Structure 1
Amino acid sequence: MKVAVWLLALFFFAVAVTLGARYNSGYVLVVSPPYRIELSLNLLVAVLLALLFVAYFAVRLVVVTSRLPAEVSDFRARQRREKAHAAMMDGLRAFFEGRYAKAERACAAALEMEQPPEMAAINATIAARSAHELRRYSQRDEFIDKAESSAPDEVTLRLMTHAELLLDEHRPDEALKLLDALRTTGTRQHTAALRLELKARQLSRDWVAVLDLLRQLERRNALDMNLIRQWRRHAHLEGFKSRTQDPQALKEYWQNISPLDKKDSKLAAAAAHAYATLSDCGAAHQIIEQSLDDRWDSELAELYGECVENDAIRQIERAEAWLKSHPNDAALLLALGKLCTHCELWGKAQNYLEASLSVEPSYTAHLALARLYEKVGRPEPAKDHYDKGLELALRRLELD
């Protein structure tokens, strides 16, 4: 619509100029002694318009000519940037395709071209990661240094990349120094950084820090809950192992564990075993009893018969109460057999151990029954159970 309007206006203007020139009889007299020039008004207007157009195009030509060097320079710089961008894209594509040698070459070439600092940081990072995948660690470190020199403001990108690569090389202490440096820059510890720190703390076996990081990641819903529970359990298990020589430290550690973690039967078993190692059977029994009352676990039931003190009769009564609800639990029957053996209740001990073997044959039950027969002076059945236990143990080793 606008084009049609402009065309109509142009036609009207042309018609008006034509009519004006046709009926205009005026002239212009130019006198410059001794010359005298007489021109028609129409010709003068045409000449002036022509001179105006010539002057305009002359000025434009001068302007374009003066700008030409700068435009040529801008064009060449734009070409270099486009070439660097194309090289970076080739490097990224090759990296994600797993073609690390090509990715390193492409990004290294892009680093030699003119580009903004953020692009230089990305190219150096991809080149460093590619060199790392190729196990060329010296070249990787050179690219990391180049990232620092070409883009000093891209601190987070460089430190996160370097820390991750060092962790992959199993160098947690150096990675932790980089993550600490990232924290001192004022950057908020985002989820990816916390995950890296978690891995570093696990490799350096700093289990207290691991538990703290797991709590932070759990609040952020950053990891699968099953994985968090698995790692938290492992950290607690390692914590128990490191405190088996210090009763006070073990007591404080168990008291500071959350009620939810205390309900974990694996942790309860580890804590009971640690107390048993310190010969504190009372604490071990209390942990096992509380855990079994809350949730039944055969491993804990078997452990109940390992640490025996003067209250063995009370333990037998407690275990027989559990037996009413779990009559076919081989581990509980084994524990009762051991407890009765300790109290020299030979008949009951033999019955419980034989019942355990009938439910589920095990090397431990055969060994306990063999020792019982030795104590009552019956070497033949004792030898028989030693042989059966050894045969069962060897068979399971072959299966494993």
Structure 2
Amino acid sequence: MRFLIGLLFILIAAVALSLVAGSNDGYVLIVQPPYRIEISLNLLVVLLATGFFFLHGVLRLVQYTLNLPRNVRNYKREQRRITAHAALLEGLHALAEGRYAKAEKAASNALNLGEDAGLSALVAARAAHKLKMLGKRDYYLAEAERLAPEASLSRRLTQAELQLDERQYASALRTLQQLDKIEPHHLPSLRLQLKAHQRLGNWEQVLSVLSQLEKRDAIEPLHLQQVRYHAHAQLLQRRAGNREELLAYWNKLPEKDQLDTQLARIAAKVFNDAGDGATAAKIIEMSLTRQWDSTLAELYGDNTGGDTVKQLQQAEYWLQNHHGDAGLLLSLGNLCIRQELWGKAQSYLEASLSVKPGSAAHLALARLLERMGNQEEAYRHYRLSLEYALNT
């Protein structure tokens, strides 16, 4: 549409110019003794216009010729940039698709062409790592440091990831500590630190990193609970040989951790193995008051060294609300055995087996029957206990 309008204006201008020129009888006289030149005004206008456009064209041609080397350089530079960018994109796509050889080749080409040296080198390093070309991987990481020192954060983060993948946990941790100086409390770095500390068994540091991630809502609650439980369990087991240290560590734990069912289970076992059945019983009682757990209730009868009568009373109180709980019935049977209440113990153990047969209940009942002189039934329950143990 614009072209048609422009063409229309040109035609109108041409018509108007021809009308003006046709009605113009003027002339121009140029005198330079002994010469005298007389030409029409219309011809002079045409000559001047033609001369102007000719001179303009000559000057533009000269300018283009003078700028030609620079334009060629700019063109080559632009083509190189386009090629390099395409190579980097090709490398990124190949890396995402798992075509690591293609990714390494494309990213290396992009690096040689100067396209985002930091990113190109890291893509090439990741691809080389996947191909187990560790020498090339280290070369690309060194190139990233040399050519893009400003991208230190991404380089160190990548390096730490690759070191963790190679199970070089101590090296990865040192790299992450250097990264921490550049940007403290960087979330991706904290996640990698958590993994490194777990692999190295640095459980105090694991808890510290978990606390930072929890404050920033940067970890799934279920994963947080699992890792925290495992860390506390390991630290409790490390102190199993020293009752005072064990008790001190347990007492400094937050109440929500002490009441956690899984942690209470491992803590009760550790305290009981350390000869502190009273503390083990207290831990179980506190946790079961908050949330009932049949497995934890089963451990209650295994605690030794505490007040058995009080424990028996507590277990019978729980039975009022959990009368069909096999674990609780097994605990009651074991507690009655310790009090030499043979008949009552047999009733509880048989009730436990009727709810949920298991190796532990059969074994407890076999030992009880053996004490009571019923050898035949004792052997039968020993055999059943072994069968359940092998099947599980």
TM-score normalised by L of structure 1 = 0.89
The 8 Å contact of residues 301 and 332 in structure 2, kept in 1 or not, is answered as yes
**Aligned with residue 279 of structure 2, among 274, 283, 298:** 283
CA RMSD of aligned residues (A): 2.4
Deviates more, 1:329-338 or 1:71-80: 329-338
Which residue of structure 1 lines up, in the alignment, with residue 217 of structure 2? 221
Q: Which amino acid aligns with 1:252?
A: A
- Partner residue, 1:69: 69
Match in the other structure for 1:307: 303
Equivalence map 1:1-400=2 (5 Å): 6-7=6-7, 9-115=9-115, 119-185=116-182, 187=183, 189-309=185-305, 311-376=307-372, 379-394=375-390, 396-397=391-392
SS in 1 for 2:149: coil
**Cα deviation, residue 241, structure 1:** 1.6
Distance 2:16 2:341 in 1: 132
Confirm or deny: 8 A CA contact 1:367 1:386 kept in the other structure: yes
Contact 2:118 2:144 in 1 (8 A): yes
Distance 1:15 1:387, change over 3 A: closer
Using the TM superposition, name which of 72-81 and 124-133 deviates more. Answer: 124-133
CA–CA distance in structure 2, aligned partners of residues 20 and 50 of structure 1: 19
* Counterpart AA for 2:39: L
Alpha-carbon separation, structure 2, partners of 1:322 and 1:302 = 12
* Aligned residue type for 2:78: R
Q: Distance in 1 between matches of 2:209 and 2:295?
A: 30
Deviation string 1:166-200 (CA, Å, 9 cap, x unpaired) is 11222222222222222211x35343332222222
Partners of 1:56 and 1:310 in 2: CA distance: 110
Counterpart Cα distance in 2 of 1:385 and 1:43? 130
Q: What amino acid sits opposite 1:346 in the alignment?
A: W
Deviation at 1:233, TM superposition (A): 2.0
- Deviations 1:232-258 (CA, angstroms, capped at 9, x unpaired): 222222222222123333223323333
> Judging changes above 3 Å, is the alpha-carbon distance between structure 1 residues 4 and 134 closer, same or farther for their aligned structure 2 residues?
closer
Task: In structure 2, list runs of 5 or more residues that go unmatched.
Answer: none
What is the distance in 1 between the residues matched to 2:189 and 2:240? 33
Q: For residues 3 and 371 of structure 1, do their structure 2 counterparts lie closer, same or farther at Cα, with a shift above 3 Å needed?
A: closer
Query: Please, which moves more after superposition, 283-292 or 5-14?
Result: 5-14
Structure 1 pair 274–44 and aligned structure 2 pair: CA distance change class (3 A)? same
Q: Is the 8 A contact 1:87 1:110 kept in 2?
A: yes
How far has the Cα of 1:66 moved from its partner? 0.8
Q: Compared with structure 1, are the counterparts of its residues 43 and 242 closer, same or farther at alpha carbon in structure 2 (3 Å cutoff)?
A: same
Question: How has the CA–CA distance of structure 1 residues 372 and 114 changed in structure 2, closer, same or farther, with 3 Å as cutoff?
Answer: closer
Q: Deviations over 1:65-122 (max 9, x none)?
A: 111111111111111111112222222222222111111111112222143xxx2222
Alignment check: 8 A CA contact 2:272 2:304 kept? no
- Give the CA deviation at 1:359: 2.8
Taking a change above 3 Å as real, the CA distance of residues 392 and 27 of structure 1, as seen in their structure-2 partners, is closer
Deviation at 1:376, TM superposition (A): 4.5
Q: Judge conservation of contact 2:125–2:136 (CA < 8 Å) in 1.
A: yes
- State the Cα distance separating 1:380 from its structure 2 match: 4.6
Deviates more, 1:240-249 or 1:57-66: 240-249
2:31 aligned counterpart, secondary structure:
strand
Distance 1:4 1:393 in 2: 95
User: Secondary structure of the residue that 1:325 maps to in structure 2?
Assistant: coil
Distance 1:242 1:329 in 2: 33
- 1-structure distance, mates of 2:210, 2:143: 34
Q: Secondary structure at the match of 2:351?
A: helix
Q: List alignment gaps of at least 5 residues for structure 1.
A: none
What is the DSSP-based 3-state SS (H/G/I as helix, E as strand, rest coil) of the residue aligned with 2:53?
A: helix
CA distance in 1, matches of 2:380, 2:42: 136
Deviations 1:216-242 (A, max 9, x none): 333443333222222222222222222
Conservation of the 8 A alpha-carbon contact between 1:308 and 1:339 = no
Provide Cα deviations, 1:245-291, integer angstroms capped at 9, x if missing partner.
Answer: 23333223323333323332111111112211221222111111111
Percentage identity across aligned positions? 46
How many residues were matched structurally?
392
| Offset of residue 328 of structure 1 | 2.5
